[in-house]
Chain A
Amino acid sequence: MSKKQETKRPLATMAELLKEKPKRGRPRHAVSRQNVYVALSAAEKQTITTVAKQLPVGLKRADLPDLAIMVLATRMEALRRAVADRDREIPEGITDLESLYLLWDADLPVKTAVFKWTSIRVSPQQLIELGRVGGVLKAAFSATRSETFSLALSLLTAFISTRTMDENDGTLSAMRKKIQAVYL
């Protein structure tokens, strides 16, 4: 450390607090997202990185949890509507959470014992949707929130890899419309 730096006076506490700090990992547009903690495997974290690069221009990695939850909520709604007049919300042959992956031709999660707790930031509407879908899957298959998010991530991966995105899909509302047009 140089002498010049040693003699430099530290900022007052209030000045330190008021100083503009870079907000890392947050979207530039103003949204009040909430932290949700999920346990993800290394493979799933890698998937997030890969899928983030395939998002349409205008959407960032920070938008990915919202998109994943949108896809899952829409597909669950389609499933609910399909069997709406029957006695069950989930068809007879869907016996566990993996059956949903198989029904929707999504990649099954890689079986691993190593998970890392990760904070994802979710918009209020998607938080409600995550809670609603998570509640159904917990009641039906004792699925945890992390398992619900893993399913959402797998569905988003399948959606992004099989659909063509254009410049009009660069916002969350445009993507919501696109997802609903496909599945509902």
Chain B
Amino acid sequence: MKATFLSDLELDEYNPKWERIGVAVPPFTIEADPRFMYLSTETRRALSKVSYMVEAGQGASIIVGEVGTGKTTLASWFHSRYARRPDFAAAKVDEVPKKSGLLLLRRIAAEFGIRTRRATEDQLNEFRSFLIEKSEDGILPLILIDEAHELSPEQFIELRRLLNFRDPRGGKAYQIILLGRPDLDINLREVPDFNDRIATRSSLDPLAPDDTKSLMEYRLLAAGRDTKAAPLFTDDAILPIWKETRGYPRSICLLCLHLCLEVLDADKTQIDAAFVNHFLETHDQYR
């Protein structure tokens, strides 16, 4: 009990002075926060193609990427943007229920605020009624599924049935965005009926060193750092960070978070290559 108490106390007392590095909020977190989403060329390509397909009523779009490439942030971005549009109703499924197609339909229904039913046909009828109601107001339902590589063939079949609903204007009634690891592409080969209905495919790749630098600068700017101030990360610090993280945005954010905490502890104002290398040598377990 005592140890717990001390640990909590230490946690309460641990309050990094972020203003010392010129930011109002922590610039690097591993949370999927759309406010901090850096738009690399590949991200912008995915955004433009997928949002075009959604708004043109083309049905299903997929975005694949390895762990930590920003899929969840992108899903949050889509959800936050479309949820506030009066002509869209957005539902986001973060965790796919195991195997059952009905459970997936029930999860989506709950997100839309539709009544959940115990039989698949009844549930589909609820979706149909929801669609009629929304169509009258010109509202297009959008379904976002994160971690979609976990979807089973049975669940893809139910999603295909949703895609079969037609909008009165002629397009597909339900718009679906699936985000997942590259396995998603492989799994889709097992369900050709659904695979053929995919309007666009995008992939998120790890960042190049230039984009790594841009991501770090963007997050510092979004956290309130003055653009006229001397750079927090010197140019020579970028390469060791990129080599350590291999350009994966989540890894970059985690390492930069630790570097920022370290620079605050060390009473310094700049992070250079020597600082990064020393940190990596002494904190190889920082992950």
Please list the residues of chain A having a beta carbon within 8 angstroms of any beta carbon in chain B: 79, 82-83, 85-88, 91-96, 98-100, 102-103, 108
Bound-state Cα–Cα, A79 to B56, Å: 9
B44, B51, B138: the one contacting A91 at CB < 8 Å is B51
Query: Does B165 reach chain A (CB closer than 8 Å)?
Result: no
With contacts A85-B138, A85-B169, A87-B87 known, is A102 near B55, CB below 8 A?
Answer: no
- Using CB atoms, name the residue of chain A closest to B85: A87
Q: Are B48 and A100 in contact (CB under 8 A)?
A: yes
Chain A interface SS verdict (over half): loop
**B54: chain A residues within 8 A (beta carbon):** 91-92
- The number of A-B residue pairs with CB atoms under 8 Å apart is 64
29 A–B contacts, CB within 8 A, in A order: A82-B52, A83-B55, A85-B87, A86-B140, A87-B86, A87-B87, A91-B51, A91-B55, A92-B54, A92-B81, A92-B85, A93-B46, A93-B48, A93-B50, A93-B52, A94-B47, A94-B51, A94-B52, A95-B44, A95-B47, A96-B44, A98-B41, A99-B44, A102-B41, A102-B48, A102-B49, A103-B45, A103-B48, A108-B41
**B41: chain A residues within 8 A (beta carbon):** 98, 102, 108
Bound-state Cα–Cα, A82 to B47, Å: 16
With contacts A85-B138, A85-B169, A92-B81 known, is A79 near B52, CB below 8 A?
Answer: yes
In the complex, chain B residues 77-110 whose Cβ is within 8 Å of any chain A Cβ: 78, 81-82, 85-87
Bound-state Cα–Cα, A108 to B45, Å: 12
**B48: chain A residues within 8 A (beta carbon):** 91, 93-95, 99-100, 102-103
